[in-house]
Amino acid sequence: MHELSIAYSVVSSATEALAGRKVAKVDSVLLRVGALSGIMEDPLQFCWGLATEGTLLAGSGLVIERVPVTIRCRPCGQDVALDGVQSFRCPRCGTPGLEVLKGRELEIVSLEIEEDGDDAHSGVATGDSEKERPAGG
């Protein structure tokens, strides 16, 4: 189990990315976690408070988007998402999936932040579109 060290690296990457910005508060961090990443959601959530303590991210929430394994099935001519990771066969035709297209992800997608000096939320994770300013505006 190394969810704590994963949590620490998320904190350090996010802190680096926020350098130079006037951040009042980080509301949440969105991660994308593939079913083959070897990372489990519960322990990661469990570690989050500890890893963020005393940092810019203290008090933020962790939002995890899970990505199922997707294989390319040649016989079906299709990309198929799998239900779990107990079998890599195509659920339609039973052919073993040799090409895995998705499921290894382990990435920070976005940060939902409140900047100092204004109340506007800045972020793309929540689809909070009315608060997003147009580019260059």
Partner 1 sequence: MELRQGILKKNDLLAADLRARFGAAGLLAVNLVSSPGAGKTALLERTLRELRLTGQRVAALVGDLETDNDARRLAMSGAPVRQIQTHGCCHLEADMIGRHLEGWDLGQLDYLFIENVGNLVCPAGYDLGEALRVAIVSVTEGEDKPLKYPAMFHSADVVAISKIDLAAACEFDRDAALRNIREIRPGVEILETSSKSGAGFAEWFELLARRREAADEAEA
Q: Using CB under 5 A as the criterion, what x/- string covers residues 66-85 for binding Zn ion?
A: -------x-xx---------
Binding partner 1 (rule: CB under 8 A), the pick from 36, 63, 64, 81 is 36
Binding partner 1 (rule: CB under 8 A), the pick from 49, 50, 78, 85 is 85
CA 108 to chain centre: 5
**Using CB under 8 A, which of the segments 47-55, 57-65, 73-81, 108-116 binds partner 1?**
108-116
Cα–Cα distance for residue pair 19/44, rounded to 1 Å: 24
Q: Please tell me whether residue 32 adopts helix, strand or coil conformation.
A: strand
**Using CB under 8 A, which of the segments 49-57, 59-67, 72-80, 103-111 binds partner 1?**
103-111
Q: Are 79 and 46 in contact (CB under 8 A)?
A: no
Q: Does position 4 bind Zn ion by CB under 5 A?
A: no
Least CB distance to partner 1 at residue 108 (A): 5
- The number of beta carbons lying within 10 Å of the beta carbon of residue 134 is 5
Cα–Cα distance for residue pair 86/82, rounded to 1 Å: 9
Least CB distance to Zn ion at residue 66 (A): 23
Q: Which C-beta is closer to partner 1: that of 37 or that of 45?
A: 37
Q: Are 111 and 29 in contact (CB under 8 A)?
A: yes
